[in-house]
Chain A
Amino acid sequence: MATVILPPRHYLNDGYGIASWLFTRDHKRIALLYLAGVTFFFFIGGAFAVLIRLELATPAGDLVSDETYNKLFTMHGVMMVFFFLIPAIPAVLGNFLVPIMIGAKDLAFPRLNLASWYIYMVGATFTTYAIVTGGLDTGWTFYTPFSTVSSTSQVIPAALGIFVTGFSSILTGLNFIVTMHRMRAPGMTWFRMPLFLWSTYATSLIMVLGTPVLAITILLVAVERVFRFGFFDPTLGGDPVLFQHLFWFYSHPAVYIMVLPAMGVISELVAAFCRKPVFGYSFVAFASVGIAVLGFLVWGHHMFVAGQSVYAALVFSILSFLVAIPSAVKVFNWTATMYKGSISWDTPMLYAIGFIGLFTIGGLTGLFLASVGLDVHVTDTYFIVAHFHYIMVGGTIMGYLGGLHYWWPKISGRLYNETLARISAGIIFIGFNLTFFPQFIVGYLGMPRRYHAYPPEFQVLNVLSSAGASILGVGYLIPMIYLMWSLRYGRLAGSNPWGAVGLEWTTTSPPPTENFAETPVVTWEAYDYGAPVEGHVA
């Protein structure tokens, strides 16, 4: 085997010093800027989670006051949703990979890409300011009229922070859409693109269509709070349910912004580690777009008990059942891909099958919730909390970690310690299930969410959950350590350590700033395993 060496010139040594990073136009460096940002805010959100689980280890509200507890779950939600889950895979992995996977030198608008990062950081700064000057207690959902009239917490800075960060999301989505339409290399047709790109494209559609509505809604909340305008205040003739319609019009599709990119990662991982094309490529591609479109039609399922008409509830219920179909198609297709595949159980694959199992549970419980009768019983209980954590943590975070591990050699040029990585994946899986499965039970039994105290008969399950959370926390910390360690001491990876098919594996690790020495001309189908073609490694 030839000795692997680092390429002499690549994007990481193409310019040194902080200015070369803060003023970069290179999508790969911008991806790393985002990586630093989202990791930092993940741990802030995680710190709030620690406090929540500490409080809930005992039935009495004895760690913090109820008002402080309101701030804890609010800030946990705000940080995790807006500053980690929504940007993580698109802005880190998407930014890094989209141009490379289509054979381009960069995104369509590199300076806009850098601006997106700055906008993200400015929004995060406003929100952090809100945290350190007293916090927000409205729930990440900002329901009116509490947020506009009664809350005495830092609603305006937090709302402004989220408003600003929304533009980061919009501009990233815009950049991806234009790039994929206009900058694919010769021969890279839509149906030769890796499925990660289809998912990213679908995600980008949601970002540009939904986020503006969040922007106007949050702006109206801030304006109403400052000027007492009355859009959502019943005493002034407004309707609080209108806020919920506008808010969830974005926030439901937002959950697909969070999960679609992870699904895209899983498609890549399953293909690479089963050494097979993804089964039913076009079904998976269309399912991605289908999820994006259908995801806009279901928001009222968050409002079954809010006061909307029962007819609207029924329509949203039926549509919510429908949106599960494309997700199910994907799960079946990944499973079919594994069938008779040549499976290797490297860390990314462990995360992939973790995703498939946990997303299925989360998705099925979503179907339970689509049924109005059941939802009325479990809404605002821990059943809901468990449902969305199965998708967002069991789903998205697993997908993110799987992708991070899979593409780490490409991003850094180094291999991480596989043993430690597999152990961490196991710890995360065990910790996750211990944290969140008891929450399904305790929620079904009636424990409300967003309460800092609960009846003593729920304590055992809560203690299990809190114990699981500490294990999960350890599981998240270990990769931080070995990934950082690998940057300096890891074995060199070479251009294709996994033997995978894809344009990103044809260039060096790390890639040069312009991604490819020469513009590729694509003559093979996606996931062309088992068919050696000049120009890519089968």
Chain B
Amino acid sequence: MTDHILPKRVYYTIFGILMLGTYLTVQIAFFDLGRLNTVVALTIAVLKATLVVLFFMHVKYSTRLTWAVVLGSIFWLGIMFVLTMGDYLTRVWLTYG
């Protein structure tokens, strides 16, 4: 397996974007966007995490198996969230007796 050696400037660039993302997250938190606040904060977090995964953790250059593990973990987390929230979000609709 040939190892991809990223040039250092890639790491510095990603670092810069992560810093920018952190700054934005904090600044936006102080504006009232209603429900969007959470959406924006989580979106930025997901973007930051994606950059760390793809570049710092080299997943962009990794095997398909590594991709399968990464995507699988997100998918399984999703199963846990979706089916559990499926209970909590529908509790008010109808109850037994």
Contact = CB atoms under 8 A, between A and B. Distances in A.
Contacts of B84: 242, 245, 249
Given A181-B65, A245-B84, A300-B83, A312 B76 contact: no
Nearest to A249: B80
B76 A296 contact: yes
Interface string A223-258: 000000000000000000110010001000000000
Interface residues of A, number: 18
B90 interface: yes
Contact of B76 (A209, A310, A315): A209
B93 interface: yes
A309 B80 contact: no
Contacts of A310: 94-96
Contacts of B86: 309, 311-312, 315
A297 interface: yes
A464 to B, nearest CB: 35
Contacts of B35: none
A245 B76 contact: no
A308 interface: yes
A208 B87 CA distance: 25
A245 B80 CA distance: 9
Contacts of B72: 209
B83 A309 contact: no
Interface string B48-92: 000000000000000001000000100010011001101110110
B79 A309 contact: no
B94 A311 contact: yes
Contact of B90 (A209, A296, A297, A311): A311
A527 to B, nearest CB: 27
Nearest to A306: B87
A124 to B, nearest CB: 28
A213 interface: yes
Contacts of A213: 80
Contacts of A316: 83
B91 A308 contact: yes
Contact of A297 (B83, B91, B96): B83
Interface of B: 65, 72, 76, 79-80, 83-84, 86-88, 90-91, 93-96
23 contacts: A181-B65, A213-B80, A241-B87, A242-B84, A245-B84, A245-B87, A249-B80, A297-B79, A299-B83, A300-B87, A308-B91, A309-B86, A309-B87, A309-B90, A309-B94, A310-B94, A310-B96, A311-B86, A311-B90, A312-B86, A315-B83, A315-B86, A316-B83
